[in-house]
Amino acid sequence: MTTKSSILDATIADYIVNATVREHPILRELREETARLSQWRMAIGPEQGQLMALLAHVIGARRYLEIGVFTGYSSLAMALALPPDGYILACDVNDATTAVARRYWESAGVAGKVDLRIAPAAQTLEGLRRENVEPFDMAFIDADKTNVDAYYEAALELVRPGGLILVDNVLWDGAVVDPSVDDADTRALRDISLKAGRDDRVEAALVPVCDGLLIARKK
């Protein structure tokens, strides 16, 4: 199985995947279908799906909030990891790519766990805060990068103490350490790691898996 990493040498990245990843056959099918799309790089790699599933098991997650679904690789990996009474609230704005996700949730028999909201995530999150919903155990932020700080703040309100907030792409293909790159997406991703690193409300670690995953545990 070959994978992609923005940071690691391809041989090492493939070694990690081939040595340790046990991918559900339906996840593999979804990864292969997604690979045929021009935007395939938006999906997390299988080693990250497995890490997220492991984290869900470690904290006994039942309620998972996802911001940015695309064709559903991360949400399907999490739906398969959550217990039978697990619940996923998934936010996206794209009907076409989430139709692919729905198809795979169905074929894996986990569609009943997923509550997909098609609307700008800021609007969905604001609604959840107003409704005072039961707290989530884990949130994954992987949508429009300029809103990453707003999503982080919303997730901090919506996740229980001891729960996890994950932010994807925090290495942004290495752009975060290139001082000549100063576009809004790169700035937002740089800023969120610096903020979480100093934020007394969380303990954080930046893990160099795929394109960089920031893991923040709410105190």
Q: Which residues in this chain contact ligand SAM in the complex, by CB under 6 A?
A: 42-44, 68-71, 73-74, 91-94, 97, 120-121, 142-144
Least spacing, CB of residue 48 vs Ca ion, in Å: 9
Structure tokens belonging to residue 64: 């998972």
User: Does 66 engage in binding with Ca ion (CB under 5 A)?
Assistant: no
Give dist(CA 58, CA 147) in Å, integer: 28
What are phi and psi for residue 44, nearest 5 degrees? -65, 160
Chosen from ligand SAM, Ca ion, none, partner binding at 69 (C-beta under 5 to 8 Å by type): ligand SAM
Chosen from Ca ion, ligand SAM, none, partner binding at 144 (C-beta under 5 to 8 Å by type): ligand SAM
DSSP classification of residue 93: S
Give dist(CA 172, CA 185) in Å, integer: 9
Q: What CA–CA distances, in Å, run from 176 to 36, 85, 146?
A: 28, 39, 14
Among the residues of 21-162, which ranges form H helices?
25-35, 46-59, 73-81, 95-107, 121-131, 148-158
Give the list of residues 6+ apart from residue 14 with CB closer than 8 angstroms, or none. 1, 2, 3
Least spacing, CB of residue 41 vs Ca ion, in Å: 8
Give dist(CA 118, CA 94) in Å, integer: 7
Chosen from Ca ion, ligand SAM, none, partner binding at 74 (C-beta under 5 to 8 Å by type): ligand SAM
Among 169, 190, 202, 212, binds Ca ion (CB under 5 A): 169
Give dist(CA 212, CA 167) in Å, integer: 8
Least spacing, CB of residue 198 vs ligand SAM, in Å: 26
Task: Give 76 or 202: the residue with its C-beta nearer to ligand SAM.
Answer: 76
Among 47, 66, 137, 168, binds Ca ion (CB under 5 A): 168
Task: Give 66 or 137: the residue with its C-beta nearer to ligand SAM.
Answer: 66
Which region among 4-12, 53-61, 85-93, 141-149 touches Ca ion (by CB under 5 A)?
141-149
Which region among 97-105, 112-120, 164-172, 198-206 touches Ca ion (by CB under 5 A)?
164-172
Chosen from Ca ion, ligand SAM, none, partner binding at 150 (C-beta under 5 to 8 Å by type): none
Least spacing, CB of residue 75 vs ligand SAM, in Å: 7
Torsion angle of C-alpha atoms 136, 139, 144, 149, degrees rounded to 10: 90
Residues found near Ca ion in the complex (CB under 5 A):
142, 168-169
